[in-house]
Structure 1
Amino acid sequence: MALFLRLVSALAVLSSCLCAPPGVPDVDTFDLENYDLNGETDWENIDLNNYGETYDYDDLDPAIEVGTVAPPSSETASPQNIPPPDYEEEVTLPPRPTQRPSQAPVPPSLDFQGPGLFGPETGLGLPTCLLCMCVSTSVYCDDSDIEQIPPLPKETAHFYARFNKIKHIKAKDFANLNKLKRIDLTANRISEIDQDAFRSLPGLEDLLLAENQLRGLPELPVTLRHIDAKNNQLESAGFHQEVFKDMTQLEFLYLSHNKLDYIPTPLPESLRVLHLQYNNIQTLHEDTFCNRHDPNYVRRPLEDIRLDGNPIVLSHFAQSYICLPRLPVGRMR
């Protein structure tokens, strides 16, 4: 009986070995005591800290390349439509004609002296301001690098051409400008003025010629109220005799920083301000400001006389300014 049981056990073992699929490990390698025959895992004894360390799960993650620019959307233009950074668009200009068509009129040049371009709207016919800015009856040509007086509208009342390169004032520059009241040519290079440049202006009141290169003044209209010719090279010989005598409206006369040897007399009674500082005046006559034949004469309007910066000593000529409400400014000793 015992022998029979041993044979049955041997046959069972042999049968299991013959029926096992290839690649199955040997039965002796299994720990049958700890093996979960029921298919259940003992979760209470699992070491969760070391669970899965023997397998590299990173190999299962797909590789993703990270860039700095997001992929273009469907609304973005395709790369074929995007020009490179150094792209420059070529522009083809129409060919320049080699010669002017025979039927095309030749444009007139801006010749201030020619009558072709100009009509009756200005002194020389210019219909509107081209070189300057016109505001109502005022024309502004300041700091525009002009070298001569441009044509002005006939209605011009105030003309400003300061800080330019004008050298010569011609008689026809202000022709037919009967409404002109103010001319300001401060800080140019004027060294010559025609004798008739201002004389024919019936309404001129203010003539400003400061900071130029003038050695003399032309004949001036008697309507002037304000003359400013300081900072020039004016000499006494450059004035006409009794140049200011008939200017019954003259109030302000600025002739400082010149080369005058004496005060051009007689001075009109209307004069209020006379600036002659920094010239070469050395003497005064009794009739320069006062009337030696009338000891009671008082010249009240003339309140501001500047003679400082001249070689004259005013205390030597007290009788020349005894009629004035205020003493002249200058050296007394």
Structure 2
Amino acid sequence: MKMSAYKVLVGLLLLGAVLAAPPWNEKRTKWKQIQLLPGDYSDLDFMNQEADILYDHEEEVFSGILEPYENSVLDTYDSDLEEESLDPDAPSVPGLFGPEAKEGLPTCLLCTCLSGSVYCDDTDIKSIPPLPKDTTHFYARFNKLTSLKNGDFAGLNHLKRIDVTGNRITSIDENALRQLPELVDLMIASNELVQLPELPKSIVNIDASYNKLHSNGIKKEAFKDMSNLAFLYLAGNALNYVPVPLPESLRSINLQNNNVQQIDDDTFCNSKDIHYVRKALELIRLDGNPINLSKTPSAYICLPHVPYGKY
């Protein structure tokens, strides 16, 4: 009897506790007001049990940590970029892809521009496109160029290399190249040139191999004052003689497969000075010419190496 009375008393106490608890909606509202602070994990286990409450309205539960996404810095940054990119009145950047070429495209879209170098190889261009003023190296190999004109390289004061190998160039205007103060390399091999224009004295390397050059297509003493010229490639033309005088700076001259028929004592040396030595000129190619080099042995006494050719 006493035990039954005890159980009834406990039941009444539990019922009173349940009735005294706040309703579910009030409890739900209370948990929504929790502020999660960095490093505060004291109630982590309990909150995991109530995850359905905490994550029901993300922007309310985490109001102490994150603002709603639509007000975040990232969203604002993306919106600014989108507004800029879609603004129809935004000014364009002039010259971004270089000057416009005759083909209707800016040069740096028609070709490839990279750190002062412009690559127009194998693009079927028929004329030199307008080049950026800071161009230092220009490549237009294997195209359909037929000439180099006076204005093609105007104002390019830093241009060091021109390579138009493998085109159909028949002529170069007289003033097309000589006004380039820093031109070092001129590569015009495998074209149809019959005459060389006047060239700047800064040139170190000339490759005009495999053209249609005759000796009268190279001006008298054309290379005399080129004090920097080191490499002269004229193979595969129709030259009748070596284009003398050659500068002291010359290290290599390639004249194979021409029509050179005679070498004189003064072609490479100085017949009036028996002590003269031409130290720089290390390579002379005369093979493939109708000349017997053994007939003029005194023509090579100043050279460190005898020329290549028929003896």
1:330 aligns with 309
Tell me which structure has the larger Cα radius of gyration: 1
Runs of 4+ in 1 over 3 A off after TM superposition: 121-124
Q: 1:219 aligns with which of 198, 207, 210?
A: 198
Distance, in Å, in 2 between the alignment partners of 1:322 and 1:220 is: 31
Q: Aligned with 1:171: secondary structure?
A: coil
Cα distance in 1, alignment partners of residues 224 and 239 from structure 2:
18
Per the TM alignment, residue 129 of structure 1 is displaced from its structure 2 partner at its CA by: 2.1
Tell me if structure 2 keeps the 8 A contact 1:255–1:275: yes
On the 8 A contact 2:170/2:191 being kept in 1, the answer is yes
**One of 302, 306, 322 as aligned partner of 2:281:** 302
Q: Which residue is 1:236 aligned to? A: 215
Query: Given residue 215 of structure 1, which amino acid in structure 2 is its aligned partner?
Result: V
2:110 alignment partner in structure 1: 131
Residue by residue, what CA displacement relative to the aligned partner does 1:250-294 show, whole Å, maximum 9, x if unpaired?
Answer: 000000000000011100001001100000000012111101111
Give the alignment's Cα RMSD to 1 decimal: 2.0
Structure 2 residue matching 1:227: 3-state secondary structure: strand
1:159 aligns with 138
**Corresponding residue number in structure 2 for 1:251:** 230
Q: Does 1:204 align with 2:187?
A: no
Structure 1 match to 2:290: 311
Residues 123 and 152 in structure 1, CA contact (< 8 A), matched pair in contact too: no
1:256-271 matches, within 5 Å, as 256-271=235-250
Counterparts of 1:1-333 in structure 2, within 5 Å, are 129-332=108-311
Q: Do the aligned residues in 1 keep the contact of 2:235 with 2:255 (CA within 8 Å)?
A: yes
Instruction: Give the structure-2-normalised TM-score.
Output: 0.66
- Paired letter, 1:212: N
Cα deviation digits, residues 33-78 of structure 1 (max 9, x gap): xxxxxxxxxxxxxxxxxxxxxxxxxxxxxxxxxxxxxxxxxxxxxx
SS in 1 for 2:152: helix
Q: Which runs of 5+ in 1 are unaligned?
A: 1-116
**Distance in 2 between the 1:320 and 1:223 partners?**
29
TM-score (norm 1): 0.62
Which letter does structure 2 place at the counterpart of 1:325?
P
Shift of residue 130, structure 1, vs aligned partner: 3.5
Query: Identity over aligned residues, as a percent?
Result: 58
CA distance in 1, matches of 2:282, 2:133: 38
- 1:320 to 1:122, Cα distance in 2 relative to 1, 3 A: farther
1:288-307 deviations in whole A, cap 9, x for unaligned?
11011110111111111000
What is the distance in 2 between the residues matched to 1:206 and 1:168? Answer: 18
CA contact (8 A) 2:236 2:256 kept: yes
Contact kept in structure 2, 1:167 and 1:189, CA below 8 Å: yes
User: Which letter maps to 1:214?
Assistant: L
Distance 2:291 2:119 in 1: 41
How many residues end up aligned between the 2 structures? 214
Encode CA deviations 1:103-122: one digit per residue, 9 max, x unaligned. xxxxxxxxxxxxxx989x76
Residue 9 of structure 1 corresponds to none
For residues 109 and 175 of structure 2, what CA distance do their matches in structure 1 show? 26
Q: Partners in 2 of 1:254 and 1:269 — Cα distance? A: 16
Gaps of 5+ in 2: 1-93
Q: Name the CA distance, whole Å, in 1 between partners of 2:156 and 2:100.
A: 6
**Following the alignment from structure 1 to structure 2, what is the Cα–Cα distance between the partners of residues 236 and 187?**
22
Amino acid at match of 1:265: V
1:23 is aligned to none
Task: State the shift of 1:214 in Å.
Answer: 0.5
- Give the SS at the match of 1:139: strand
Cα deviation, 1:186-205, whole Å, max 9, x if unaligned, reads 00000011000100000000
Displacement of 1:139 in angstroms is 0.3
